[in-house]
Amino acid sequence: MALTDSPGATLSGAALHLGAPSTRGRQLPAALILVVLAFAAVWPAAAFSQDVAPQPAPSSSPAPTATAAPPPEAITAQPTPAPTPAPAPAPAEQVELVKPAILTNARIARWAFLERSTVARAEPSRTARKVAFLSRLTPERTQNLVLILERVNVGGQLWLRVRLPVLPNNSTGWLPRTAISGYETVQTHLYVDTKRFKLQLKRLNRTIFTARIGVGRKKWPTPTGEFYVRNVLRGFKDPVYGPVAFGTSARSAVLTDWPGGGFIGIHGTNKPGLLPGRVSHGCIRLRNRDILRLAKLMPVGTPVTVR
């Protein structure tokens, strides 16, 4: 049929037929032709609109230029958030350590009574290792005392390094300043020569007294080292000790089972003919007249050096 093959020819023919005079019977086919032509014009446009997206009207502005995608290696990966670090431990408390002050030397020594029983430590700290337990009283029931070697300020607290009346001999330890009384000062120093059987007392480094002595036998030797005088005792019922005895911080390393722990004393004797020599269980013996004289010159707290 010519309508589908050549729409333009058909329109021309339709117009031609409409404009020609005709009878009533011949006008009906012309009307049908118009209806068919109208349907044919609308149907393709409707069918096309369902399959193809409408194209936008041309614009006067330049078309946007497409941007090439970056190559894969140029793409920067988003970094993975780092895990939140655990809070750092609180820093240890900073301890202010002031240079130690020397309190005892060859000329002057300082000592103090214990105000209470206390623990001596290896370092000036309440958490340091325990070195010894010090009772407020000695085995002779006198108030205990310590020779003070130096003082140090640790974090605002004063600590004292002291000589200890414990084994092994020559031990030292640290005590808090609050554990002792006020300082006492002495200017004397006692020197004992166990080889020459000689005792020498000095004041401000000047000799003020000497005496011949007896010391411990070889199996009970008098301990050597640095010690101090802890107390002065009188009124003994047994004349073996003489009229006066000084208790020291030295202790026998072999007679530890003696009453009181085997402390070494400096005392008189009821057998002066045995002196000088190795005659005792470790104590230092003087003739009674010499010990009485020494008692007038040597106060408690006096340092004792035994060689």
Summarised one tens digit per residue, pLDDT across range 46-98 is 443 443 344 444 444 444 444 444 444 444 445 555 555 555 554 443 445 56
Amino acid identity at 34: L
**Cα–Cα distance measured from residue 260 to residue 59, given in angstroms and rounded to the nearest whole number:** 118
Amino acid identity at 59: S
| Residue 213 contacts residue 285 (beta carbons within 8 Å) | yes
Report the length, in residues, of the chain. 307
**Distance between alpha carbon 283 and the CA centroid of its chain, in Å?**
45
Please identify every residue annotated as catalytic: 267, 283
Interval 174-215: pLDDT, tens = 999 999 999 999 999 999 999 999 999 999 999 999 999 999
* 3 state SS of 214: strand
If you ran DSSP here, which 8-state letter would residue 114 be given?
Answer: B
| Residue 301 contacts residue 231 (beta carbons within 8 Å) | no
Going by their DSSP bridges, the two strands 172-176 and 157-163 should be labelled as: antiparallel
In the block, residue with structure tokens 């802890």: 230
Q: What is the mean pLDDT of the chain?
A: 80
Query: Predicted confidence band at 141 (pLDDT cuts at 50, 70, 90)?
Result: very high
| Residue 151 contacts residue 159 (beta carbons within 8 Å) | yes
Task: Please tell me the predicted confidence (pLDDT) of residue 65.
Answer: 46
Crossing angle for the helix pair 24-51 and 7-19, to the nearest 10 degrees: 150
Q: How far is CA 123 from CA 130, 143, 149, 157, in A?
A: 9, 25, 14, 13
Structural domains in the chain? Answer: 101-186 (2.30.30.40), 188-306 (2.40.440.10)
